[in-house]
Amino acid sequence: AQTVTQSQPEMSVQEAETVTLSCTYDTSESDYYLFWYKQPPSRQMILVIRQEAYKQQNATENRFSVNFQKAAKSFSLKISDSQLGDAAMYFCAYRGVGAQKLVFGQGTRLTINP
């Protein structure tokens, strides 16, 4: 079974600085999807960024980018120019191409210090 591990329960960063959230996963599949979801205090699950495993290029969405290391099974999220609105729980998630369910990590609580 696939597993997703986020080893940082909490992280904090100064506003306007850069922060990196770590995620590792375990799978025997060669093709799959990886995601970062954000959950603010409202508890809505918001997709931040996605990566398809067959693509070597790291995904980027404005201030959010990933460092996808397929061989190492690592998928970290970098947030540049951190803003107060970035404060939330961040969940890394895995989904196989054939399988349908998302498997989530335990989450990292990100605090932005003004």
Footprint of other proteins on this chain (CB under 8 A)?
32-33, 35, 37, 42-45, 47, 50, 52, 91, 95, 97, 100-107
Give yes or no for a contact between 7 and 22, defined as CB atoms under 8 angstroms apart. yes
Least Å from the CB of residue 86 to other proteins: 19
Least Å from the CB of residue 8 to other proteins: 13
Q: What's the CA gap between 18 and 6, in Å, rounded?
A: 18
Cβ neighbours, 10 Å, residue 1: 6
For residue 72, give the amino acid letter: A
Q: What's the CA gap between 90 and 109, in Å, rounded?
A: 6
Which lies closer to other proteins via its Cβ, residue 67 or residue 104? 104
Which lies closer to other proteins via its Cβ, residue 84 or residue 97? 97
With H, G, I as helix, E, B as strand and everything else as coil, classify residue 86: helix
Which lies closer to other proteins via its Cβ, residue 11 or residue 45? 45
Least Å from the CB of residue 82 to other proteins: 22
